[in-house]
Every structure is written in structure tokens, then in C-alpha cells.
Amino acid sequence: MSKPKVCILRSAGTNCDRETAAAFEMAGADTELLHVNRLTCGERAFKEFQILALPGGFSYGDDVASGKILANELRFRLFDGLREFISGGKLVIGICNGFQVLVKSGLLPGVESASGGLKQEASLIMNDSGKFEARWVYLKSEGRCIWTKGLKDLIYLPVAHGEGKFVVSGQKVLNRLKKNRQVVLKYCDGRGRLSGYPDNPNGSLAGIAGITDRTGRVLGLMPHPERHILSLQHPRKEKRAGLKGDGLGIFKNGVEYARKNF
């Protein structure tokens, strides 16, 4: 097929939309920056796309809690289209604020409750340090997710958030995440070992930085892969033009999968 189409969903306060689009384009996709109002008014629909990306930023100012208002908009205004999109085998990625939206809407870890709606079983709350922090972190990739398949064991990406501490509603949820291999990115030190602050920048449970749903097609992560698609962006590597960064592989995986399957 031709280039997969990515919907980069915007709302009031989205601010990583342009670089996320640039990363997807570099990975070989066509992108469109789409405001959520176009979906809620029915003018446009998720089904026009193969990939949905929820970029970073401060949707609706992160008022009430980070990602909460947009999560509710997806749950209560756009759920049918979104359910169809995901059950149709398409791909979703939520980065930083996008991850917060996915978790707070219940799309991640993603177990449907009896009533047919989604249940929030995890959350991303205020960093243990009590403040917003921007820093580079090492991540170990594992688990079963089409977005992180075949990445290097250890990748290096920046985080920039105030509410990124991953927590779950109970031990059972964590056990299930582990059993299903839904934990796909973990904060670690430069040698790949689990570690404390600042390697784990926010105090996340078990160092969890990114998770997927049961299908492995929906990824949410706090770090910003779109900010390391060129080696020029790396804080220490010798500056050389043309070399790629660690984050690009994630976008390439998504685009490659969409190209093969649709």
C-alpha cells in the first residue's frame, strides 16, 4: 500500500504535535495534525487513518489532572469510533501527555469492564520529586509490543514531565501486566539495571516507563522518542550529520506494521 496515514491528534494545549509528525514522516508515513473538535463535531473520523498518535503537551492545561479532560472526551464523546479503530487492528501511540490520556481513559492497560466501558486501572501521578523535570534517561525495552520490537536493549531518550509516576490500582494489575508482557519500557541505569532517582526520574512502580495493551498495538510511554530521531539531538554523541537517533525505531516499527497490514 501507499504511505500509512497518521492522525496526530491536537487539542487545546498540545505542543509536541509538529515534532511527532516529523518523526513519523521520517519513518515513511503521511501525517495530519487534526484538532479533536473535527472529530467530536463529526466532520472527520478515526477510520480515515491507520495510526493514531496522541502527542505530548498539556491538553486542556492538565487541569483537574494531567490528560484527564481529553481522556474523558475520548471516553464519553468519541469512544465508538475509537473502539472500532483499535478492534480493527489499527495502531495507537501516546507519548507523555498522550500516555496520561491513554491510562486515564482506561485504554491502557486496557481491560474492558463488564459494562462495556473502560476501567482505569493505572495512573500517572505527580513525580516523587514534586516537580516538573526534564532529563535524559536510559530505557530497557522488553515485553511484547509491535512498536518496540527489535529495539536495542538499551535506548536513550529525554523525559519532560511533572506527572509521570506510574502506579496501579493493585498488585493484581501489576502481575497481569507482567504475565502478559505488557511492560515494554523500563527506566534503568547506563548498564541496564533497575535503579533509583534520577535514573528512574519520577518514582514509577517497578521502573515502568511504557506499557502496551493486550494486543501489543497500543503503546503509551512517558519518554519522548520524537526528540531523539537524529544523533544531533543526543546530549553527548559527537555531532555528526545524517546519523539517526534511538527514538526513530519506534516510529519505523509502527509505520512498517501499518504498511504491511493495511
Which positions are annotated as active-site residues?
96, 224, 226
CA distance 237 to 215: 36
Q: Minimum distance between the CB of residue 261 and other proteins, rounded to whole angstroms?
A: 27
Q: Minimum distance between the CB of residue 99 and other proteins, rounded to whole angstroms?
A: 14
User: Judged by CB, which is closer to other proteins: 104, or 140?
Assistant: 104
User: Judged by CB, which is closer to other proteins: 86, or 118?
Assistant: 118
CA distance 100 to 56: 9
Q: Minimum distance between the CB of residue 96 and other proteins, rounded to whole angstroms?
A: 10
Q: Minimum distance between the CB of residue 260 and other proteins, rounded to whole angstroms?
A: 26
The residue behind cell 493495511 is 262
* Residues making contact with other proteins (CB under 8 A): 10, 12-13, 15-16, 18-19, 22-23, 26, 35, 37-38, 56-58, 60-61, 63-65, 68-69, 72-73, 76-77, 104, 120-123, 125-136, 158, 160, 165, 167-169, 203, 224, 226-227, 229, 232-233, 235-236, 239-241
User: Judged by CB, which is closer to other proteins: 97, or 257?
Assistant: 97
User: Judged by CB, which is closer to other proteins: 50, or 105?
Assistant: 105
